[in-house]
Structure 1
Amino acid sequence: MDVIQTTGRKRETYEVRIESSLLWECALGIAAITNKRLLKTLDQPDNYWERIRQSLSDEMIEQLNFVEKNNTWKALLQLLHQKSFSDLNTFQTYIDSLTVEELRFICIPYVGSKFQEIRSQASNGDPTAIHELQSLTKDNIFFPTYIEFICTYDVQALKEHLVTVMEGWYQTVIEPTADNLSSILKTDTVSKQNMKMKMKSEELVEWATGGISYPPEPNVQNVLLIPQYIYRPWNIEADIEGTKVFYYPVANESIHPGDAYTPGYFLVQKHKALGDEVRLRIVKLLSEHARTLQELTEQLELGKSTIHHHLKILRSARIVEVRDSKYTLKKSSITALAKELEHFLYRENQVVFDG
């Protein structure tokens, strides 16, 4: 259908911010070790997590068991979003300063601007509001039980737990490697800040996260990118008022910043994926419009298994995705490729952009 454009206003998008902190890494480490379902999928091997567990005190093990039961890592992340904390002591002092209602309100997940009053009522212990929030979040695997826990558990005991588990993890896991970890996070932050000058907001989010397409949506003015090392290779998404958060995995080249000749993982995968005649033909066809596997098979006159194999490679490189049972070209991934290559070739000459 043709559309006659009668407005000169451009499509609104969001502003991207990039922030890094060892406190984020601390909270995400607590989240990682207590998520046994995902633990084996993380970059760090089993023996890494086993060594950490062996180094922890009995009290800390007990605190982590409490995290695993009640998902209080979510409360830590919610609290860390309230302001910029210079160190662990500042964060702990902030937690201690909060009233019962303030702490509960902050820790309850944000579910949308129109539900903020219900969130406030739930933080005051209103059973009807608590039930409504549970109903709104019923599709989330842990939110309903977490909301009930936050709204009913003794706040002073919760404060003591949050302070203790953060302090224990920070001292045992973060401090011994703090300099190296800070360097990795800073290197990745600088890289993303430099690319922010060259890419549109949506391109930057997709590049930083390794392929997540996040189009603008109502009531979201900002996207906050937070680099993390401990939860690689996963991205973690969260929502706070007016902001979408991506805790994204730091790039390989940020882990080895002294080697300017190490290309990013997806830069390599994209070039490999495009270095084949059949796959380039598929990309050309999908640049016209989305197609089914059957349509691609008929157009290219090749077997379904062959086409499926090539599509799998293109999907792994985040060049193609599936929508409504059809294969679609991620055009932003193609248009960003030249910028990614330029970033790799000239990144040692980049300067930090503060903004």
Structure 2
Amino acid sequence: MEVFSMSSRKRETYHVEVKHSLLWEAALGIAAITNERLLDTLDYTESQWEGIKQSLSKEMLAHLEMVQEHNTWKTILLLLHEKDMDSVEEFNDFLINLEEEEFRYMAIPYIGKNHQQDRKLASQGDQQAVARLQEASKDHAFFPRYIAYISQVDVQHLKSHIQEVMTGWYESVIQPEEEKFKGILERDAFSKNKRLEKLEAEDFVEWATSGIRYTPEPSVYKVIMIPHFIYRPWNVEADIEGQKIFYYPVANESIHPNDPYIPDQMLVQKFKALGDENRLRMLKILMDGGRTLKEMTEEIDMGKTTIYHHLKLLKSARLIVAYGPRYHVSPRAWEMLPKELELFLGAEK
């Protein structure tokens, strides 16, 4: 039997807003340099990261160790979403004036609408609420440990740490190339806003993130898109109440605005990932069905660490995806790859 819809209403979706700031660029740089497992997949080379480390003081390096241990980069990003701020000084003033309970509440991540009361109680020191939030986020890589830390840490100590790590990073890494970073982010935000005028919200998010198809959720009314340079080629996702955040990698043309022949960064990433015999072999295996890291190790005579490294590069190129512990080929990536190459080379003109 055929079913006809009597409604003329379109399926509701979210509103998209593109925002940019050097403060977010600074926070993501701090997150990047302290994520050792991801560092070798980023566009910045090993020598560039070493150069940054050598430019930092011993005190700043100690603060980065604290960031790595407690994931306090997450605190910085959450605070930056509380208010639009244009400078480190404005951020520091905002931070200083926060009351202890208010600070803890902002620093505890949003787990979902049903957990907001526990978030409030946890910010007041209720350890049962902390335990419930930890249970609700148990599948997240670091949220349970992070929530416990935020609920117990000396707030003044953490505030001081955040001030110093943000100020130190901005002065050492951002400020020397401030105009360069500012120009890249402004150009990318401008070009994205122009494209946003022509695309539906969901299509825009998929295009800007090079493949993330984010379908509407009942509790999300806005998606905020934030360009970044230093964390390329990765997208970073976050949730705040009523909103989804995507920190997405800037396009190559935003970095090289005067070069009409510059290829799309993700296109380059994909072909780099394909240019290796071992990775091609892994893709061939995954074409036959999903595999865990353990299963892949059993099929290929290669060390587990090496296989994981190759899978990580394939994933960063969006050629494979991970659902839980299993890796799968991304069908949409293979559908789009010939089209992306044709568009770049102008074969369809």
Instruction: State the TM-score bracket (shorter-chain normalisation).
Output: 0.7 to 0.9
In the other structure, the counterpart of 2:249 is: 249
SS of the residue corresponding to residue 213 of structure 2 reads: coil
Partner of 1:234: 234
- In percent, how many aligned pairs have the same letter? 50
**1:55-98 CA-partner distances (Å, limit 9, x unpaired):** 11111011111111111000000000011102111110000110
**Residue 37 of structure 1 aligns to a residue in which SS?**
coil
**For residue 175 of structure 2, what is the aligned residue in structure 1?**
175
1:106-126 deviation digits (Å, cap 9, x = unpaired):
010101112111100000000
With over 3 angstroms needed to count, the CA separation of the structure-2 counterparts of 1:320 and 1:23, relative to structure 1, is closer
> In structure 1, how many angstroms separate the alpha carbons of the residues matched to 2:62 and 2:118?
33
Matched, 1:56 2:56: yes
Q: Trace 1:75-154 onto structure 2 (pairs within 5 A).
A: 75-154=75-154
Q: CA deviation at 1:330?
A: 4.5
Q: What per-residue deviation string (whole Å, max 9, x for no partner) do you get for residues 281-320 of structure 1?
A: xxxxxxxxxxx969xxxxxxxxxxxxxxxxxxxx999799
Q: 1:222 to 1:162 in 2, by over 3 A?
A: same
Q: What do the CA deviations read for 1:170-222 (whole angstroms, capped 9, x no partner)?
A: 00011000000111111111110010011111111011101111111111111
**Unpaired segments of 5 or more residues in structure 2?**
271-286, 290-314
**Deviations 1:312-355, CA, capped at 9 Å, x for gaps:** xxx99979989999988649x87xx79x969x9xxxxxxxxxxx
The residue type paired with residue 168 of structure 2 is G
Change (3 A) 1:3 1:181: same
Could you tell which deviates more after superposition, 319-328 or 103-112? 319-328
Matched position secondary structure for 2:38: helix
Between the aligned partners of 1:45 and 1:139, the Cα distance in structure 2 is: 31
Counterpart contact for 1:320–1:330, Cα < 8 Å: no
Change (3 A) 1:118 1:57: same
The one-letter amino acid of 2:36's match is K
Letter in 2 for 1:249: P
Structure 1 residue 261 displacement after superposition: 3.4
Distance 1:45 1:178, change over 3 A: same
Contact kept in structure 2, 1:206 and 1:214, CA below 8 Å: yes
Deviation of 1:268 after TM superposition, in Å, equals: 8.2
Give 2:159's aligned amino acid.
Answer: K
- Encode CA deviations 1:220-265: one digit per residue, 9 max, x unaligned: 1111110001111111000011111111011111110111332424
User: Compared with structure 1, are the counterparts of its residues 328 and 253 closer, same or farther at alpha carbon in structure 2 (3 Å cutoff)?
Assistant: closer
Q: 1:40 aligns to what SS in structure 2? A: helix
Where does residue 204 of structure 1 map in the other structure?
Answer: 204
Which residue of structure 1 lines up, in the alignment, with residue 73 of structure 2? 73
> Is the 2:205–2:213 Cα contact (8 Å) retained in structure 1?
yes
TM-score, with structure 2 as normaliser = 0.78
Alpha-carbon RMSD across the aligned residues, in angstroms, is: 3.1
Within a 5 Å distance, the mapping from 1:173-322 to structure 2 comes to 173-266=173-266
- Report the 3-state secondary structure (helix = DSSP H, G, I; strand = E; otherwise coil) of the residue aligned with 1:210: coil
Q: C-alpha separation between the residues in 1 aligned to 2:70 and 2:129?
A: 20
CA distance in 2 between partners of 1:56 and 1:47 (Å):
15
Residues 1:158 and 1:208: Cα distance change in structure 2 (over 3 Å): same
Question: Quick one: distance in 2 between partners of 1:8 and 1:212?
Answer: 28
Q: What amino acid is aligned across from residue 149 of structure 1 in structure 2?
A: Y
Query: CA separation in 2, counterparts of 1:67 and 1:320?
Result: 30
Distance 1:115 1:227 in 2: 29
State the partner residue of 2:309.
none
Count of residues in Structure 1 that have an aligned counterpart in Structure 2:
300
- Cα 1:2–1:168 change in 2 (3 A) is farther
Q: 1:303 matched to which residue of 2?
A: none
Normalising by structure 1, what TM-score? 0.77
Give the corresponding residue for 1:306. none
- Quote the Cα distance in structure 2 between the aligned partners of 1:328 and 1:67: 33
SS at match of 2:246: strand
CA distance in 1, matches of 2:61, 2:320: 43
What code does the residue aligned with 2:229 have? Y
Work out the CA distance in 2 between the residues paired with 1:248 and 1:33. Answer: 17
Deviation at 1:4, TM superposition (A): 2.8
Task: Supply the AA of the counterpart residue of 1:193.
Answer: N
